[in-house]
Chains A and B, each alone.
Chain A
Amino acid sequence: MNREKDIANYAAIFFAAVSLFFLLFPSVRLAQTARILLSYSLYPSLHYGADYEHFVRNVPGNIIAILRTDQENRVLRDRIKELEISAGAAESLREENRRLSAEMKLSGEVPFRGIWARVVNKNTQDWYGSVFINKGERDGIELNSTVIGFEDGRFGLAGRVYEVYPYFSKVLLITNGVSAVICSGPGGGFEGLAEGRGTWMMKVNYVPEGSDISEGMQLFTSPGGVLFPQGLPLGRVQKVHPKESFMNFISADVAPAVDLGSLREVYVVKRPLPSDIGER
């Protein structure tokens, strides 16, 4: 320990003496020679530094520029996301506008007074069974009101209102398993009962044998029905089943006139119904 202390003392004295020598006698040849020799320690930084200065000179500025670019990039990325969302919303609105325009035009062809409503909820467990609309008792919706749907420039029977609340209502679709609509062919040539099956397809039963029902035929609501006004498009025959040997009527599969799985706006017909069917 003492030896190390002595060495430290000697070293301090030696280097202090050398420094003082440089300080006090800067013009002496020995001091100048030492200075020249020691100046080679500057060589790496000054010589190579000067050579490569153009690489490192802009490093701080470039780092700041990269950081700024990164921040700008993040802001722009967020902005792009916002714009994509806005563009999506605008496209959706444009599509809705186009659809509503077509429906408004079509509604002029519906010979009934009524009100427009928007489908606000569908139950995935009951996709072809019922939907909720955003109009209710306060808007004049009544129980069993006829509901008309629209799709691609055509309209058709969608169902009837079977629950009415102050601000919304529930619509029983014609594809619901408990729904039944009396229908007829063009010109009222025959009558049958279109029953829902809980899928996108309905089944028409009780069509008298010998009727001219055929695939592709359009069916309408019948004058014999009380709930629905007559003449509304109900659906199109997809397949006619042959008569069973033990029955005296034939049946057919019918696709609804409008796709009930993608209803967005509906038209609720306002017309007086017989008082005795006012209750569900």
Chain B
Amino acid sequence: MPFIWDAVVYLLAGILHWWWTANLSFFGVAPNLIFAAALTYAIMARPLRAITMCFFFGVYLDLLGSSLFGAYALIYTVMAYGVHLVKRNIDLVAPFAQIVAAMILTVATMACYQTLSLALAKINPLQLKAFLVEPFLNALAAPVMFSVLAQFRKRLDLL
């Protein structure tokens, strides 16, 4: 029943993200654990599953936000597809590769979200401090999330 486990991981990641941002954010900045989970799925899972989960992780972030419903869903879907193309040539299982990928993709997703927001809603949601700090926090969170989900996969035959 892999679908059940995916739903469990999805909900756990959502709860953890909510709890972290509610209680452990410093100066309004916290690692985006949903992004880390989406990136992990994109790296570890097969393409269909990775794209599907990334879409729903994006939807989750869209639901947490107040505008542009579907923006994160689109961005994370594209991100999953991009990772699917890239991981044929680059080993993204190594922690350092995940750190680099997380930094680059965080900046890319932020830039895409900013572009979509400006284009479709004419709002400027991106805060400078988040843009400067969050890539580094996500880079730290991504390998940790990867190793946690890798343990899940090893013990529960997930992903």
Answer yes or no: B153 CB below 8 A from chain A CBs: no
**Any chain B CB within 8 A of the CB of A56?**
yes
B63 touches A39 (CB 8 A): yes
Which residues of chain B have C-beta atoms less than 8 A from A15's C-beta?
51-52, 55, 73-74, 77
Q: Is A11 an interface residue (CB 8 A)?
A: yes
**Which range holds the interface residue count of chain B?**
35 or more
Q: Which residue from chain A places its CB closest to the CB of B71 in the assembled complex?
A: A23
- Tell me, in angstroms, the Cα distance from A49 to B11 when the chains sit together: 12
Q: Please determine whether B60 and A11 come into contact, CB atoms closer than 8 angstroms.
A: no
Describe B's contact surface by its main secondary structure.
Answer: helix
Chain A interface main SS type = helix
CA gap between A37 and B134 in the complex, in Å? 30
A35 within 8 A of B: yes
Q: Are B77 and A49 in contact (CB under 8 A)?
A: no
Contact residues on A (Cβ < 8 Å of other chain), bracket = 20 to 34
Q: Tell whether A153 is near chain B: CB-to-CB under 8 Å.
A: no
Contact B60 A41 (CB under 8 A): yes
CB within 8 Å of B: which A23-65 residues: 23-24, 26, 31, 35, 38-39, 41-42, 44-46, 49, 53, 56-57, 59-60
Which residues of B are in contact with A by a Cβ distance under 8 Å? 10-11, 14-15, 17-19, 22-24, 46-48, 51-52, 55-56, 58-60, 62-64, 68-71, 73-74, 77-78, 80-81, 84, 116, 120
- Additional A-B contact list (12), CB under 8 Å, known A8-B84, A22-B62, A41-B14: A8-B47, A11-B47, A20-B70, A23-B68, A26-B69, A35-B63, A39-B63, A41-B59, A44-B15, A45-B14, A56-B23, A60-B23
